[in-house]
Structure 1
Amino acid sequence: CFVVLLCFVFNRRATVTPSRLEWHTLPASASLYKSPEYESLGFELTVERLVSIGYPQELLGFAYDSTFPTRPETREQYPNKFIQRDDTERFYILNTLFNLPETYLLACLVDFFTNCPRYTSCDTGFKDGDLFMSYRSMFQDVRDAVDWVHYKGKLPLLLSRMKEVGKVFLATNSDYKYTDKIMTYLFDFPHGPKPGSSHRPWQSYFDLILVDARKPLFFGEGTVLRQVDTKTGKLKIGTYTGPLQHGIVYSGGSSDTICDLLGAKGKDILYIGDHIFGDILKSKKRQGWRTFLVIPELAQELHVWTDKSSLFEELQSLDIFLAELYKHLDSSSNERPDISSIQRRIKKVTHDMDMCYGMMGSLFRSGSRQTLFASQVMRYADLYAASFINLLYYPFSYLFRAAHVLMPHESTVEHTHVDINEMESPLATRNRTSVDFKDTDYKRHQLTRSISEIKPPNLFPLAPQEITHCHDEDDDEEEEEEE
Structure 2
Amino acid sequence: MLPCAVYKSPDYEELTFELLLERLVSIGYPHEILAYKYDPTFPTRGLVFDALYGNLLKVDSHGNLLVCAHGFRFLKGAEIWNYYPNKFIQRDDTKRFHILNTLFNLTETFLFACLVDFFTHCPRYVTCDNGYKHGNLFMSFRSMFQDVREAMDYVHLSGCLKEKTLENLEKFVVKDPRIPLLLSRMKDAGKVFLATNSDYNYTDAIMTYLFDFAEGAEEGPPPPPPRPWRAYFDLIVVDTRKPLFFAEGTVLRQVNTDTGKLRIGTYTGPLQHCAVYSGGSSDLVCDLLGVKGKDILYIGDHIFGDILKSKKRQGWRTFLVVPELAKELHVWTEKSELFEELRSLDVFLAELYQHLDSGSSECPDISSIKKRIQAVTHEMDMCYGKMGSLFRCGSRQTLFANQLMRYADLYAASFINFLYYPFSYLFRAPPTLMPHESTVEHMRMELSTGGSLPGHPLRKQAQSGGAAGWAGQDREACDLPGRAGRQAGSPPGCEHSPGRERCLPAFPRKLAPWQKTMPSDSDPRPKRRSSQAAHRKTPAPSPVPGL
Cα distance, 1:247 vs structure 2? 1.5
- Say yes or no: does 1:99 pair with 2:171: yes
Q: String of CA shifts for 1:67-112, please: whole Å, max 9, x gaps.
A: xxxxxxxxxxxxxxxxxxxxxxxxxx994364279xxxxxxxxxxx
Deviations 1:362-421 (A, max 9, x none): 111133222221111111111111111111111111111123233234457757833348
Is residue 168 of structure 1 aligned with residue 240 of structure 2? no
C-alpha root-mean-square deviation of aligned residues, in Å?
3.7
Cα deviation digits, residues 447-474 of structure 1 (max 9, x gap): xxxxxxxxxxxxxxxxxxxxxxx97457
Matches within 5 A, 1:28-427: 29-35=3-9, 95-96=167-168, 98-99=170-171, 150-151=175-176, 153-190=177-214, 195=222, 197-411=224-438, 417-420=444-447
**Is residue 363–residue 374 contact of structure 1 (8 Å, CA) maintained in 2?**
yes
TM-score normalised by structure 2 residue count: 0.52
The 1-side partners of 2:380 and 2:436 are apart by 26
Paired with 1:234 and 1:210, the residues of 2 have a C-alpha distance of: 14
Cα pair distance change 1:321/1:398, threshold 3 Å? same
Sequence identity percentage: 70
CA drift at 1:243: 0.5
Sort the Cα spacing of 1:225 and 1:297 in 2 relative to 1 into closer, same or farther, 3 A: same
Question: Could you tell me whether the CA contact under 8 Å between 1:34 and 1:97 is conserved in 2?
Answer: no
**Secondary structure of the structure 2 residue equivalent to 1:155:** helix
User: Partners in 2 of 1:173 and 1:33 — Cα distance?
Assistant: 15
Task: Return the alpha-carbon distance in structure 1 between the equivalents of residues 454 and 368 of structure 2.
Answer: 36
Paired letter, 1:364: F
**Do 1:326 and 1:337's aligned partners in 2 also have CA atoms closer than 8 Å?**
yes
Contact 1:171 1:213 in 2 (8 A): yes
Shift of 1:297: 1.3
Residue 306 of structure 2 aligns to a residue whose secondary structure is: helix
Q: Is the 8 A contact 2:12 2:172 kept in 1?
A: no
With over 3 angstroms needed to count, the CA separation of the structure-2 counterparts of 1:404 and 1:197, relative to structure 1, is closer
Give distance in 2, aligned partners of 1:303 and 1:38.
Answer: 23
Q: What is the one-letter code of the residue matched to 1:96?
A: N
One-letter amino acid matched to 1:154? R
Whole-Å separation in 1 of the counterparts to 2:533 and 2:352: 43
Distance 1:199 1:220, change over 3 A: same
CA contact (8 A) 2:166 2:205 kept: no
CA deviation vs aligned residue, 1:196-230 (integer Å, no higher than 9, x gap): 85211211110111111111111111111111111
Is contact 2:8-2:172 (8 Å) kept?
no
CA distance in 1, matches of 2:291, 2:236: 16
CA distance in 2, matches of 1:318, 1:413: 24
**Cα deviation per residue 1:228-275 (whole Å; 9 max; x = unaligned)?**
111110111111111001021111111111111111111011111111
Structure 2 unmatched runs, 5+: 14-39, 41-164, 458-473, 479-484, 486-529, 535-547
Give distance in 1, aligned partners of 2:348 and 2:451: 32
**What amino acid maps onto 1:251 in structure 2?**
S
Q: 1: CA distance between counterparts of 2:201 and 2:328?
A: 35
The DSSP-based 3-state class of the residue aligned with 1:185 is: helix
Aligned partner of 2:352: which letter?
Answer: L
TM-aligned CA deviation for residue 282 of structure 1: 0.9
Letter in 2 for 1:170: L
Q: Is the CA contact (8 Å cut-off) linking 1:33 and 1:296 kept in structure 2?
A: no
What is the CA distance between 1:165 and its match in structure 2? 0.6
Q: Distance in 2 between matches of 1:264 and 1:208?
A: 13
Deviations 1:164-207 (A, max 9, x none): 11000111111100000110111110269963852112111101
Q: Read off the aligned partner of 1:235 and give its amino acid letter.
A: L
Name the count of aligned residue pairs: 314
User: Where does residue 73 of structure 1 map in the other structure?
Assistant: none
Residue equivalent to 2:84: none
> Secondary structure of the residue that 1:417 maps to in structure 2?
helix
In 1: Cα distance, 2:387 partner to 2:247 partner: 34
Report the Cα distance in structure 1 between the residues aligned to 2:403 and 2:434, rounded to whole angstroms. Answer: 19
Q: Higher relative CO (CA 8 A, sep ≥ 6), structure 1 or 2?
A: 1
Contact 2:446 2:452 in 1 (8 A): no
C-alpha distance in 1 between matches for 2:278 and 2:533: 29
Gaps of 5+ in 1: 1-22, 40-65, 67-92, 102-146, 429-469
Mapped contact 1:175–1:211 kept (Cα < 8 A):
yes
Instruction: Give the letter aligned to residue 337 of structure 1.
Output: P
